Structure 1
Amino acid sequence: MKMAGRHSFATLRARMSPEAQAEAEALAAQLDEEMDLAEVRRALKLSQDEIAQTLQVGQGSIAKLEKRTDMYVSTLRRFIEAMGGELEIVARFPDHAVKITNFADLSERERV
């Protein structure tokens, strides 16, 4: 996904050496089920500056965002996409889980 003036995750990853890419992939495979945004970013070997460039914001904005406990779903989605991921929202109940689809097409509605 390439947005005007933004770097895709693939572009950022292409700048990494093959060794760094392999290490990042190995670490990403070891991601815990529960991590905060900064831990995910570090596990993927991405800097706050790289995420800031992708989102066209300052590094300080990324630092603040990583510390927030409450944010818009669209903000979280953009942050996850800047790291090369995809955000899914799942409601877990004792006997089943349901993927919430209201936010699945959020990016398309925002672009219209």
Structure 2
Amino acid sequence: MSDALDKAEAAVADASRNTDVVAVAMAALEVAKLAAESAKQQPHTCGHDHKQQPEFNARKWWTIGGLVIVGGGIASALALAFALAAVAVAIAGTCATCCLLVLRSMWRASQNGH
């Protein structure tokens, strides 16, 4: 009888160990099930809109290109006018310097009595 009692106690101990393992496995299954449900509820979002791209508008780009060309032409014309004005100022400065040097030498000559 004690042999049967020992076998029964060993079976109970083995069952309790198996129960713990089964409980851990069941908990892992529950966690996996919850993770799968949360993945279904919250789809992956990439952070930007997936709206359909607007159709290509050639008129818009022709207008922008034309405005850039006209603006560049105006800017280059203004740069050319500025360069010509700078050359004119340089020529005027040179002429004024020559005039002043000639007048100064004439003034000194008249002061010395020549």
Q: Please give the TM-score of this superposition, normalised by the length of structure 2.
A: 0.15
Quick one: higher RCO (CA 8 Å, sep 6+), 1 or 2?
1
Q: Which has the higher strand share?
A: 1
Higher-Rg member (1/2): 2
Q: Please give the TM-score of this superposition, normalised by the length of structure 1.
A: 0.15
